[in-house]
């Protein structure tokens, strides 16, 4: 199922399908390792829900919910099921 990264729950895994938005925004995310085909795991949300902590390419990254909205992912599975 295709979702926005901002719609995933903690411990859910997604594979990046596309990054929407302007060229500078896409370039910034790609520099952080968020590229099509990359798997990522939502680890947790900050107490007020923003930012979102994700695990991508063996490191943790915090991303604003409004930025996560522009990242389309294919939901793969629940991390706790592995």
The string of pLDDT tens digits covering residues 58-67 is: 999 999 999 9
Predicted confidence (pLDDT) at residue 79 exceeds the cutoff of 80: no
Of the candidates 44, 34, 40, the one whose C-alpha atom is nearest the C-alpha of residue 10 is 44
Q: What's the token pair of residue 29?
A: 């995310």
CATH number at residue 71: 2.30.30.90
Domain coverage including residue 9? 2-81
Beta carbons of 27 and 33 less than 8 angstroms apart:
no
Helix (H) or strand (E) holding 63: strand 59-63
* Alpha-carbon gap, residue 67 to 52, rounded angstroms: 10
Question: In the chain, how long is the greatest CA-to-CA distance?
Answer: 36
36 pLDDT tier (thresholds 50, 70, 90): very high
Domain count, the chain: 1
What pLDDT, in 10s, does the model give residues 10-25? Answer: 999 999 999 999 999 9
What is the average per-residue pLDDT within 49-61? 93
């Amino acid at each position: 199922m295709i979702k926005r990264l901002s719609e995933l729950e903690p411990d859910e895994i997604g594979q990046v399908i596309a990054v929407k938005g302007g060229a500078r925004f896409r370039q910034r995310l790609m520099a952080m390792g968020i590229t099509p085909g990359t798997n990522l795991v939502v680890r947790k949300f900050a107490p007020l829900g923003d930012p979102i902590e994700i695990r991508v390419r063996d490191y943790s990254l915090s991303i604003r919910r409004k930025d996560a909205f522009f990242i389309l992912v294919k939901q793969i599975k629940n991390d706790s099921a592995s």
